[in-house]
Amino acid sequence: MLVIGEKLSIIAKRVREAMMKRDKSPIQDIAISQWKAGAGMIDANIGPAEDGGEALMQWMITTIQEAVPLPVCLDTTNYRAIDAGLTVHNNQWGRPLINSTSNDPERFPMLELAAKYHSQIIGLTVGKGGLPADAEERAAIAAEIMARAAESGVPLEDLYLDPLVLQIATSQDHALKVVKAVRMFQELNDPPMKTVVGLSNISNGCPKHVRPIMNNYLLSLLIYEGLTAAIADPHEVSQTVKTIDVILGNTLYAHSYLEM
Amino acid sequence: MPFTPTKETYSGKIYTVAVGKDSGMITLGGENVLPFHTFDGLLPNRPVVAYEIQDSPPDDWPDEVLSPYADVVNSPVLWAKYCQDTLMAQAIALRLAGTHPDRANRSPEDAAQTVKDVLSSVDIPVIILGSNHAEKDASVLVAAAEAAKDRNCIIGKAQEANYKTIAAAAMANNHKLIAMSELDINLSKQLNILISQMGFEKERIIIDPMCSALGYGLEYTYSVMERIRLAALAQNDLTMQQPILGDVGIYVWKVKETQASETDVPQWGNLKERSVAWEAVTAVSLLLAGAELLIMRHPKSSDAVRKVIEELT
């Protein structure tokens, strides 16, 4: 399973300051640390970035890819920032991932960028009218996004469907609906659709010591259902990913499997 | 409509391991397909048969396998040259059996001298094996590895009980290393991990999952080898992508089928043919399971196996 390192987010004070000052070293330290912990891609979350988003996204991608041989997940609602970012992304390390399109008309143009740059893209199964009520509604939205992707010239294997993980503390009944949606998404196509979650949202608002526990247990259920990728902290989830891989028979067990 | 055969492709590939020096150098591994599946992909190097010789005259080899070497068993140097020059061996496996405490209990220094003598008399690669006494091997193989410094030999066998010392010696003297575990795929992977965690490159290891003879648990060895190879190719398991060794002769030439005379067991037929066939069939089975390197004893069975390799590649 692909872990997309979540730690380069504007929400974190250290990262935000580094972004504003264009200070490469904290960004690169975090990227390297996530790569070594098993991340296969690095999320670059620059927020809405209304002003100067283009330059910031380009700087982030270049800074990250100078330090680690990984592709970047371009995480912003700013269309122009993603457009600019994709022009500098080094595809030698793998293809980029746009985060994200959805059923909100404002996010439709992201699909054009995916087609234009031959990028992968996340399809978040929400519309303009609020949160999906259940797994079935998520799947219905997914089908609409898939149809739109096909019209835009984005191959379905480049689309990662995201069921939108909600906070357990406020929306407990959605946890199981997300698990079910991951199963249903795959059935929408043959070969199965790819799936992704923003994992740590489940524990947003929980006490600090609960968060890694909540994240890891949810992840193990999702991997069992066939999840392709998770935006998560690789340090926090690597043991779960490796252990579930062993339990599912994807990797051969050895006493030191956690060290590999 | 023309028929297009389906190709099996794998994400993993076996490490390429070069052994020996200069004109005698041989290369093992490098394939990205199951054994002999040349129709699916790359099989750049043929499996190799190494002829076993010993540092002192064997006292446990049946006549059938000792007699072809009757004139040379008293001298490891002559024995090695005979394998290289007369039998046209591509490699030799020098087993320092005489160092075993229950045998001649030869000292590490004596063993090291034998290694030097043999190495200076042949050009083909040499595999240097201990007596399979974990404790004694640790000192014998360290001395042997030093004596063979920079000749790019294969040293073995490193086991769970002694791998640290032997791997360190192989590393310091630029050799490849046999990692042996006892018929258990998970322990085999674990030993590879432990050895590579010492800083020994995993690309310099040869896996020995432990051999057995036809009729005496060969199916266990076969199955472990097969699963190692599938982990390497299908799961792209980086810790299991080394060439595999089948140490065949030592197991075959102690079973009763290679020793009982026709007079004693008439229904088993001619001993000469039977014993050679026993070694050849065991060896070919392991080739089919995934072995790239075989250590064999009888010139005739070795010849037969080399012919099979030629025909299948």
Average pLDDT, chain B: 97
Query: Cα separation of A4 and A40, whole Å?
Result: 6
Contacts of A247 in chain B (CB under 8 A): none
pLDDT band at A128 (very low <50, low <70, confident <90, very high): confident
Query: Cα separation of A247 and B1, whole Å?
Result: 44
Q: Is residue B2 domain-resident? A: no
Judge whether residue A130 has pLDDT over 90.
Answer: no
pLDDT of residue A17: 97
Across the interface, of A250, A251, A256, the residue whose CB is closest to B193 is A256
pLDDT of residue A129: 79
pLDDT of residue B5: 87
Query: Cα separation of B304 and B300, whole Å?
Result: 6
For A103, the token pair is 């059923």
What does the pLDDT average to over B163-178? 98
pLDDT digits (tens, 9 = 90+) for B229-244: 999 999 999 999 999 9
Q: Which residue range(s) make up the domain with B83?
A: 18-312
**A2-259 is classed in which CATH architecture?**
Alpha-Beta Barrel (3.20)
Percent of chain B scoring above 70 in pLDDT: 100
Cβ contact (<8 Å) for B240 and A251?
no
Strands A97-103 and A2-5: unpaired
Judge whether residue A173 has pLDDT over 90.
Answer: yes
CA distance from start to end of chain A: 15
Q: SS3 for chain A, per residue? A: CEEEECCCECCCHHHHHHHHHCCHHHHHHHHHHHHHCCCCEEEEECCCCCCCHHHHHHHHHHHHHHHCCCCEEEECCCHHHHHHHHHHCCHHHCCCEEEEEEECHHHCHHHHHHHHHCCEEEEEEEECCECCCCHHHHHHHHHHHHHHHHHHCCCHHHEEEECCCCCCCCCCCHHHHHHHHHHHHHCCCCCCCEEEEEHHHHHCCCCCCCHHHHHHHHHHHHHHCCCCEEEECHHHHHHHHHHHHHHCCCCCCCCCHHHC
Cβ contact (<8 Å) for B235 and A251?
yes
Conformation bin of residue B174: beta by default, left when phi > 0, alpha when psi is -120 to 50: left
Query: Cα separation of A169 and B11, whole Å?
Result: 42
pLDDT band at B188 (very low <50, low <70, confident <90, very high): very high
What does the pLDDT average to over B210-215? 97
Residue B14 one-letter amino acid: I
Cβ contact (<8 Å) for B189 and A253?
yes
Cβ contact (<8 Å) for B240 and A252?
yes
Tell the burial category of B261 from Cβ atoms under 10 Å away from its Cβ (0-12, 13-18, 19+).
exposed
pLDDT digits (tens, 9 = 90+) for B271-305: 999 999 999 999 999 999 999 999 999 999 999 99
pLDDT of residue A60: 98
pLDDT digits (tens, 9 = 90+) for B213-268: 999 999 999 999 999 999 999 999 999 999 999 999 999 999 999 999 999 999 99
- Least-confidence region, from A126-140, B83-97, B215-229: A126-140
Contacts of B239 in chain A (CB under 8 A): 254, 260
How distant is the Cα of B7 from the closest Cα of chain A, in angstroms?
19
pLDDT digits (tens, 9 = 90+) for B71-80: 999 999 999 9
Q: Number of structural domains, chain B?
A: 1
Give residue limits of the domains in chain A.
Answer: 2-259
Closest chain A residue to the Cα of B234, Cα to Cα:
A250
Query: Residue B115 maps to which CATH number?
Result: 3.20.20.20
pLDDT of residue B95: 98
Judge whether residue A211 has pLDDT over 90.
Answer: yes
Count of CA atoms in the C-beta half-sphere (13 A) of A47: 13
How distant is the Cα of A187 from the closest Cα of chain B, in angstroms?
24
pLDDT of residue B103: 94
Query: Cα separation of B305 and B250, whole Å?
Result: 16
For B185, the token pair is 């795929």
What does the pLDDT average to over A119-148? 95
Contacts of B235 in chain A (CB under 8 A): 250-252
Q: Among B225, B233, B237, B242, pick the best mutation site for testing chain A contact (most A Cβ within 10 A).
A: B237
How distant is the Cα of A239 from the closest Cα of chain B, in angstroms?
17
Across the interface, of A252, A255, A256, the residue whose CB is closest to B237 is A252
Cα B203 from chain centre: 17
How distant is the Cα of B199 from the closest Cα of chain A, in angstroms?
14
**Cα diameter, chain A:** 51
Does A248 reach chain B within 8 Å, measured CB to CB? Answer: no
Closest chain A residue to the Cα of B228, Cα to Cα:
A252
Contacts of B197 in chain A (CB under 8 A): 256, 259
pLDDT of residue B1: 81
How distant is the Cα of A21 from the closest Cα of chain B, in angstroms?
40
Judge whether residue B193 has pLDDT over 90.
Answer: yes
Judge whether residue A38 has pLDDT over 90.
Answer: yes
Judge whether residue B46 has pLDDT over 90.
Answer: yes
Contacts of B185 in chain A (CB under 8 A): 252
Contacts of B189 in chain A (CB under 8 A): 252-254
* Secondary structure E strands in chain B: 17-19, 26-28, 48-54, 91-95, 126-129, 154-158, 176-180, 205-208, 244-247, 291-296
Neighbour count for residue B193 (Cβ, 10 Å): 18
